[in-house]
Amino acid sequence: MTVHTDKNKPTACLVLADGTLFYGKGFGATGQTTAELCFNTAMTGYQEIMTDPSYAGQVVTFTFPHIGNTGITSEDDETAQPVAAGMVVKWDPTDPSSWRSQQDLTAWLASTGRIGIGGIDTRRLTRAIRQQGAPHVAIAHNPDGIFDIEDLVAQARAFSGLEGLDLAKEVTCAQSYTWNEKRWAWPEGHVAQTDAKFKVVAVDFGAKRNILRCLASAGCDVTVLPATATTAEVLAHNPDGVFLSNGPGDPAATGAYAVPMIKGVLDQTDLPVFGICLGHQMLALALGAKTVKMNHGHHGANHPVKDLETGKVEITSMNHGFTVDSQTLPAGVKETHVSLFDGSNCGLRMTDRPVFSVQYHPEASPGPQDSYYLFERFAAAMQERLGETV
């Protein structure tokens, strides 16, 4: 057991499964947790990242040092509570400086049971993740500065990892609900959709609120169903289109129940289908492709993606540790987008039906509006199916 007694003693530590140890200053909740460690290169949006259900089972290292400087605003939550297991930052969070701030980051993390650790060499840590892959870690915060390092290493090594893990069931909604709130717009803020043209069923594998807002802004009356919804439950709502949301974990594990539902929708109807992130991977699996674990994944709001059909390059937000193996896409399914960082698959579509998906997050608006056309494409497909002119 390690005990620090001087007044500048560290109050938190990060332990990698290989025994690498980082000491720092803790903030937020006390205690300890284990998870996979990833890094995110976004310069803004730390609250969106921490409340994105796709980060379940992960501690996030922020490469941008100024984390906490805009505080916390309830409007920016992507779900009711933070989902990421913890955060690692270079500098201790500062007092917020934003007219929108309602709470500081440290208090918010403490009230929601999430651990933060500052004073870490995040550049060194990021290099290690790039070179070795996303490690399993234990993170601990104790104001007394007392840590059982051997036990923390053992906990990190015992962490099962995300491969084979179905986390969608843990972050999905408990029961169905409707959504009509549209995207934020000045000066009204979020207003309700009152003139919806399309009925959409959104299957919630860990849906972000802003995705649902984008659907509403595109003219959709949205009914959200749990991840375990069956084909019959989806079609019982008589939708004009089906949306497959983002989410965490291993797509192959979630696919055990989601793929049969998607296949049923595709086999029994001609409905437009649109998927994002895990929804993209679920659709790929349903069409016969395979997914693989990435070395360190894609996490950031500055990822260039090329649309192979138009030649356009979009600046996108990404958050995924698994990817669709483009070499396994079957006949009748076309790769539409690729990452300009590593050439990995970022989009697909069926060649004869309005069924398409992307790996990135078009609702996150880092471009800021580079990818919103995808929601409009989904709406246009539903409108065409209904026999109306666009």
Domain ranges of the chain: 2-158, 168-385
The answer to whether the beta carbons of residues 51 and 82 sit under 8 Å apart is yes
CATH 3.40.640.10 matches 2-158: no
Residue 43 corresponds to which amino acid?
Answer: M
Angle of CA points 35, 40, 45, to nearest 5°: 110
The per-residue pLDDT for 389 is: 44
The per-residue pLDDT for 6 is: 56
What does the block give as tokens for 74?
Answer: 């309830």
Q: Which of 267, 367, 387 is closest to 317 using CA atoms? A: 367
The answer to whether the beta carbons of residues 261 and 222 sit under 8 Å apart is no
Partners of 61 in the β-ladder: 39, 88
Q: Which of 313, 319, 323 is closest to 360 using CA atoms? A: 319
3-state helix, strand, coil in the chain (%, to 5): 25, 35, 40
The residue length of the chain stands at 390
- The CA dihedral of 380, 291, 264, 346, to the nearest 10 degrees, is 0
> For residue range 115-128, what is the model confidence (pLDDT) as tens digits?
999 999 999 999 99
The answer to whether the beta carbons of residues 109 and 27 sit under 8 Å apart is yes
Residue 337 corresponds to which amino acid?
Answer: H
**Secondary structure (3-state) at 377:** helix
Q: What is the CATH code of the structural domain delimited by 168-385?
A: 3.40.50.880
> For residue range 188-227, what is the model confidence (pLDDT) as tens digits?
889 999 999 999 999 999 999 999 999 999 999 999 999 9
Residue 327 backbone zone (phi > 0: left; psi -120 to 50: alpha; other: beta) = alpha
What does the block give as tokens for 105?
Answer: 């980051």
The per-residue pLDDT for 388 is: 59
**Cα–Cα distances in angstroms (integers) from residue 285 to residues 55, 266, 373, in the given order:** 21, 13, 24
Low-confidence ranges of the chain (pLDDT < 50): 389-390
What positions carry a catalytic annotation? 277, 361, 363
The per-residue pLDDT for 94 is: 87
The per-residue pLDDT for 387 is: 87
Spatial neighbors of 390 by CB under 8 A, at least 6 apart, are: 380, 383, 384
Instruction: Give backbone dihedrals phi and psi of 191, rounded to 5 degrees, phi first.
Output: -120, 165
The per-residue pLDDT for 189 is: 87
Residues 53-83 as b/e (b if ≥16 CB within 10 A, e otherwise) read: bbbbbbbbbbbbeebbbbbbeeebbbbeebb
The answer to whether the beta carbons of residues 327 and 290 sit under 8 Å apart is no
Q: How far is CA 286 from the centre of its chain?
A: 21
Rounded to an integer, what distance in angstroms lies between the CA atom of residue 327 and that of residue 341? 18
The per-residue pLDDT for 186 is: 87
Number of helices followed by number of strands (H, E) in the chain? 10, 19
Q: Residue for token digits 């205690």?
A: 31
Query: What pTM value is reported for the model?
Result: 0.95
